[in-house]
Structure 1
Amino acid sequence: MRCLLCEKPSFSVICKKCQSNFLFPTFHKRELEEGFYNYSFYSLSELEDLLSSKYYFFGDRVFNVLAKLSFERFALNFKFDEITYAVPIDDHSRHEFSHTAILARALNSKNIKAQYNVLRATNIVKYAGKDKEYREKNPRQFKLTNIHDKTTILCDDIITTGATIREAKKALEKKNNKVLFSLTLADAKL
């Protein structure tokens, strides 16, 4: 196969050289509401083409590389007094795999355990290219199952306005879960 970035022959969808040269994550922090933050590893402009791979058959391999470079490294350094649960936002499979489940799985560590199939959108509206007003008028309407009284971290691929993350946080809090923060691969405002 060929590397998606440099197009040279590679055993990985993105070669090791391109991973180290072009995909070195930097940590970004954005306050979504008072005292609640989203942390991301890249700007959307850095990853836009790679993130669109979630719509294609090879996207799981791309997301596994990105998750290893960012979420997995984060988990190695994360310390907390109790087990924290990584909750992917709307982790059902639309294209043979769930990109948010891949991100949550990368967080599995001594202190973090991924929880799947617990936070699902009942309104499958497309937000791509839509403004804040549209997103607020068309909420995801999350259904939460099988998690309560836990300490959690939300996981998603992109943050734009933060509306989805705030809505997911509220859904978790209704079942007495504490949401420490959210993690995303990319931030559209960077």
Structure 2
Amino acid sequence: MILFYMLCITCKNLSFQIICKDCQNNLLIPSFHKREIEDGFFNYSFYSLSELEDLISSKYYFHGDKVFNILAKLSFAKFAQKFTFTNQVIAVPIDDHVRHDFSHTAILAKHLESKFITPRYNTLKASNIVKYAGKDLEFRQKNPRRFKCTNISNQMTILCDDLITTGATIKEAKKALEKKNNQILFSLTLADAKL
């Protein structure tokens, strides 16, 4: 039997996982945050960006899928276990294009699968793939994502993304889903840049 060890990317100790159990249990304890991004429409997040900045940037690297699976297990999966609703709800990852061999938003949506939530992939894609990282609200407004919604209509939905900064992406994604007569209950993100 061969055992593979690696270094935890947080504390640099030997670990069987990319983030060791000690760091998961002590440093990555989620706390629930609520932000109104449109009149009566809320985003819920589990961490502040300052807590996760290096981990969220792992989406640009080959090991990011391992990091996002751990973060999603600690937050999105626990949320899904407690979530109840009268109807089935569809979890829609925002722009789940595969980059660096995985889609970080699809990973988040996958961890929402439960009795009441079903993930639906390849549903909401940006036709403008401009990079928003580090850009201000004015840039985001001048360069909309122009989302195209396919394969979903007349559904109750939850939007999933890794990060909320200005809220512009979530609002644009919400409008694209609403054009197909979907109702968006709220959005869920790993982190909020305003916390």
Structure 2 length-normalised TM: 0.97
2:151 aligned to 146, 153, 165, which one?
Answer: 146
2:116 matched to 1:111?
Answer: yes
Aligned-pair distance for 1:94?
1.3
Measure the CA separation in 2 of the matches of 1:112 and 1:53: 26
- d(CA) in 1 for partners of 2:72 and 2:134? 24
How many Å apart are 1:70 and its aligned residue?
A: 0.2
Matching residue of 2:32: 27
Would you say how many aligned residue pairs link Structure 1 and Structure 2? 190
1:65 equivalent in alignment to 2:70: yes
| 1:93 Cα deviation from its structure 2 partner | 0.4
Shift of 1:56: 0.6
CA distance in 1, matches of 2:110, 2:69: 9
What is the CA–CA distance in structure 1 between the aligned matches of 2:172 and 2:106, rounded to whole Å? 18
The equivalent residue for 2:14 is 9
Distance 1:14 1:58 in 2: 11
> How big is the alpha-carbon RMSD for the aligned residues of Structure 1 and Structure 2?
0.4
Give 1:76's aligned amino acid.
Q
1:127 to 107, 132, 136: 132
For the residue of structure 2 that corresponds to 1:184, the secondary structure is strand
Tell me the distance in 1 between the aligned counterparts of 2:125 and 2:97. Answer: 7
Q: CA shift at 1:21, angstroms?
A: 0.7
Which runs of no fewer than 5 residues in structure 1 stay unpaired? none
Q: State the alpha-carbon separation in 1 of the partners of residues 124 and 142 from structure 2.
A: 20
User: Which amino acid in 1 is paired with 2:54?
Assistant: D
> Aligned partners of 1:20 and 1:109: how far apart in 2?
23
Map 1:28-177 to 2 at 5 A: 28-177=33-182
Percent identical among aligned pairs is 71
Q: Secondary structure at the match of 1:154?
A: strand
TM-score (norm 1): 0.99
Q: CA deviation at 1:187?
A: 0.2
